Amino acid sequence: MKTCNVDGCNNPVWSKGMCKMHIPKTPIRKVSLKKADKILERKENTIRLHTAMYEWWNSFGSNKKCESCGCLLPKEFSTVNVHHLLPKQKYKNVEFKSKYWSLLCFTCHNQWETYPNNEYIQKKTKEALEDYHRNS
């Protein structure tokens, strides 16, 4: 078995003729202050959004149902159950407005995101889009 090239070290070779102890470590990537501020702002925005969703979720009481198929939703809050009718990337100014959200079970939400053919959600999305253009 090959041993480390470093004098006095008899550990087995890991890579490039050196053991795990002597292989140079990859330096931690430095992040600029501007980028760090942007990351922090994005995290704070996500927390605000999830808080707003949680409050909206609680406003439905204990018997929350999927607006598409009618099944009962879990008692625990999950952002998966809140669907943005208008894409957040394109319509950033309505991201926090609950009238542009819909309660969906995981199955309906997943189906909509992968293959948007659900008539109910298509109708709600169309109504939301019309409302958005009417109020813009």
Structure tokens that stand for 113 in this block: 């995101």
64 DSSP assignment: -
Residue range 87-96, pLDDT digits in tens: 988 998 899 9
pTM as predicted? 0.70
Residue 119's pLDDT is 84
Residue range 28-62, pLDDT digits in tens: 778 899 999 999 999 999 999 999 999 999 999 98
Torsion of CA 60, 73, 110, 91, to 10 degrees: 10
Helices assigned H by DSSP within the chain: 33-58, 106-114, 119-135
Alpha-carbon gap, residue 23 to 135, rounded angstroms: 61
Residue 50's pLDDT is 95
